Amino acid sequence: MSKMTTSHDTAIDPLVDPATGQRFNAALQGPVTHEEPDFLHKLPMDNAVGAIVALTAEVWMLRERLAALEAELESRKVLPVGAVENHQDLAAAAEARAAELAAYTERVMSELTRNREPVSQIDPAVRKFL
């Protein structure tokens, strides 16, 4: 989807109250026109790490359940022992999986390197309607 063309009006700082000049942490005071606000700049690092550890626990639960499933399938001879561990993709499947891995990696990593330009830019000329 193509972005809108915006006029050359000056940027609006959405975290500053235009009436008083006071700056807020997260309560936006105007439209986001040029740069994404940083809502979480005061988020304690402990909380962020807590979320990462909680997510790690969730991933472990998935891994454990998957391992149990593999073991059950092997013990019931639905799969040969080591079938998952020794599975080799055919060339086309390997290619598709590599592409999946690349896309997956991009989805996660691109959040870290994300450009702060809004994905949907409001034209600062909008101020005449506010």
Partner 1 sequence: MNARLDIDNDGHEQDPLVVHESRDFRSYHAFLRAARNYMEGPLVGQLHDRYERAHPTPASDWRAAQWVLDELNEFQFYCWAYRNLQRFKYHRPTLGIFATLERDRDRLERALDAAAAETLKSDPTALRLDPSLSLPEYFRYVPFHQHTGGVAGDSLAGLAYEIGRRTTVPAHADPNGIYRILFDALPQREYARVLDWGVGHGAALITWQQRQPQSECHGVDLSAPCLKVANLRARERGMRFLLSQQDLEHLDYPDAHFDLVFFNFMLHELPPAHTPALLAEAARVLKPGGLFAGHEFHLRPGDAFQNVLQRTHAWTNNETYSTPWYDTPIGEWARAAGFSKVSITPFERLNRSVRRPGKAPINANHWNLYVFEK
Amino acid at 95: E
Residue 94 amino acid letter: A
CB of 111 to partner 1, least distance (A): 9
State in angstroms the smallest separation of the CB of 107 from partner 1.
5
Number of other CB atoms surrounding residue 15 within 10 Å: 19
For partner 1, the closer of residues 42 and 76 by Cβ is: 42
Which residues contribute to the site for partner 1 (CB under 8 A)?
A: 1-4, 14, 24-32, 36-37, 39-40, 42-44, 47, 103, 106-107, 110, 118-123, 125-126, 129-130
User: Minimum CB separation from partner 1 for residue 26, in Å?
Assistant: 4
Nearer to partner 1, 71 or 125 (CB): 125
Q: Which is nearer to partner 1, 60 or 104 (CB)?
A: 104
* Residue of 130, 120, 125 lying closest to 4 (CA atoms): 120
Nearest to 34 by CA among 113, 115, 118, 114: 118
- Provide the minimum distance between the beta carbon of 54 and partner 1 in the complex, in angstroms, as a whole number: 13
Tokens found for residue 24? 């807020």
CA proximity to 41, closest of 30, 25, 55: 25
Closest to partner 1 by CB, 47 or 75:
47
Contact present, 115 and 3 (Cβ < 8 Å): no
